[in-house]
Amino acid sequence: MAENEDLGSLNLWEQVQNYLAKIQKREKEVNERARKLDEREKALDEREAKIQEAEKRIADKEKLLDKKSSELEGYAKKLEEEKKKYEEKYKELEKKLEAINTAETVLKNYENTLKTTNEEIKKKLNEIATLYGGLADLREKMLNVIQTLSSGEIPVKEEKTPVKEKKEEKEEKKQEFEVVVVDGEEFIKCPQCGTLNSKDAIMCYNCGYVFKPEEL
């Protein structure tokens, strides 16, 4: 009977040992699981930290983008203002260019007018030069004629014309005289040689044609 009790005690001890072994095994499993959970939690914490860091970077990037966007908007606004200024400047330059072109046209017309006027002046000067060019010779001729008249040596034509016919001829000659105005001064154009003579001239300075035979 005592042997049976020893056997029972041995079985109980084995049972306790087995139970303890199971508990230890269970504890190891729990510890291993806890360790794995800790590692997972640590990994999750690390991932969360990385995510937070990424979120912070993204937030910083968004702030930077907002800043850049504001700067770009300001720059675009400034460009628009500069564009308006350049457009206004361009319109102003176009107006100035148009005014310059108009002034050039006016100047060209004025130059052409001056050229024409200069040509007319040269023509008039040539006429006056022609008029006064022969004054010395004409003066000498007139002096000779006056001397001849004063000495009574008047050439007589072979055929005498009646007084009545002479008067008619004088009147016809008066009607043939052409008056030319040069620089506001009147000149008589000689019907015989075309020379311009003073309106008070008695005879042509060039050919001796008599304008006023009644005054001789």
Q: Where are the domains of the chain?
A: 58-133, 135-151+164-216
Higher pLDDT, 137 or 25: 25
pLDDT in tens, 186-202: 898 888 898 888 888 88
H-only helix segments in the chain: 2-133, 135-150, 163-176
Stretch 172-199: mean pLDDT: 80
CA–CA dist 197, 37 (Å, integer): 139
User: What whole-number percentage of the chain has pLDDT above 70?
Assistant: 68
Indicate whether 203 pLDDT > 90.
no
Stretch 151-158: mean pLDDT: 47
**Two structure tokens written together for 124:** 């008039």
Q: Provide the token pair at 168.
A: 């008619």
Task: Report pLDDT digits (tens) over 20-67.
Answer: 999 999 999 999 999 999 999 899 899 989 999 999 999 998 889 888
pLDDT over threshold 90, residue 105:
no
Q: Supply the pTM of this predicted model.
A: 0.33
